Amino acid sequence: MNSISVRALLVRGMIAGLIGGALAFAVAYLLGESQVDAAIALEEAHSHAAHGGAAEEELVSRTMQATGGLATALLVFGVAAGGIAALVVAYALGRIGRFGPRATAALIAGAALLTVYVVPFLKYPANPPAVGNPDTIGKRTTLFFLMVALSVLLAVAAVILGRRLAPGLGNWNATVVAAGGFILVIGLAYAFLPSFDEVGKDFPATLLWKFRLSTLAVQATFWTGFGLILGHLTERLLTPVAAVRRENEGAAA
């Protein structure tokens, strides 16, 4: 793929990420914010019962947090993640089998959802307000991003391993071996990295479950929307070029 196509694909990836971020915001606002409000109310009730007195004045209103703040965060994340993923798609086209632009974009989006969010989420799931020790926020955040980096690097290593084993074992067996290695090393990371169980006994389990499912739904919506939109835009970008190239080659022949 030439540099013009890479630049064009990067722009389309950012556009797809922007649209995916808008879809994720809609899901987060409709599904997640009610869980956050319930958790905040629970936290404030416990704080009043323990300390009494008036609540602290908010620097940013809850309405602004749930609308403008949330939208800005997801849209910026969408543009940044979309641009990076589009570069990965540009590199992967034609290198991971006989997949067209739509299938390649869908595979990369699915792999990103798995490695960037699902694998770290299973070890360090998201917590709503009123859950977790404030003194461990820094450590938990660091470990979460360490898990993200480890998951991405291991996924890349699994792809490389699968490609090298394919000539001798066949595509299916090589894929099984590479996936098994990925799962094994991730399992060891789960076992040896520290865990945190900071959910209070009085915190409603249903609220915690709904909150975590909503965060998973937000990420699933973003990466699904991104993959479908980028696949469509990539196909429209590359298919006419391929058709013209075939016509030129036929004329030259």
Q: What angle do CA 92, 98, 101 make, to 5 degrees?
A: 55
pLDDT at residue 14 in the model: 93
Shared domain for 78 and 181, answered yes or no, is no
Shared domain for 107 and 14, answered yes or no, is yes
Shared domain for 90 and 26, answered yes or no, is yes
Cα 22 from Cα 72, distance rounded (Å): 10
Shared domain for 148 and 231, answered yes or no, is no
pLDDT at residue 40 in the model: 72
**Rounded average pLDDT over 119-133:** 81
Q: Indicate the range of 25-34, 57-66, 76-85, 229-238 predicted with least confidence.
A: 57-66
Q: Domain boundary residue among 181, 198, 215?
A: 198
Shared domain for 206 and 83, answered yes or no, is yes
Shared domain for 48 and 114, answered yes or no, is yes
Residues with Cβ within 8 Å of 180's Cβ and at least 6 positions away in sequence, in order, are none
Shared domain for 185 and 234, answered yes or no, is no
Residues with Cβ within 8 Å of 152's Cβ and at least 6 positions away in sequence, in order, are 115, 116
Cα 253 from Cα 247, distance rounded (Å): 10
Shared domain for 244 and 149, answered yes or no, is no
Domains in the chain: how many in total?
Answer: 2
pLDDT at residue 250 in the model: 55
Q: What range does the domain containing 190 cover?
A: 134-198
Cα 127 from Cα 39, distance rounded (Å): 10
- Residue 155: name the closest of 193, 186, 182 by CA: 182
Record the tokens describing residue 173, joined without a space: 């067996």
Rg of the chain taking only CA atoms, in angstroms: 22
* Band of pLDDT at residue 244, cut at 50, 70 and 90: very low
* Band of pLDDT at residue 164, cut at 50, 70 and 90: confident
Q: Domain boundary residue among 177, 198, 219?
A: 198
Shared domain for 218 and 112, answered yes or no, is yes
Q: Which tens digits make up the pLDDT trace of 176-204?
A: 999 999 999 999 999 998 887 777 677 77
Residue 211 has pLDDT above 90, yes or no: no
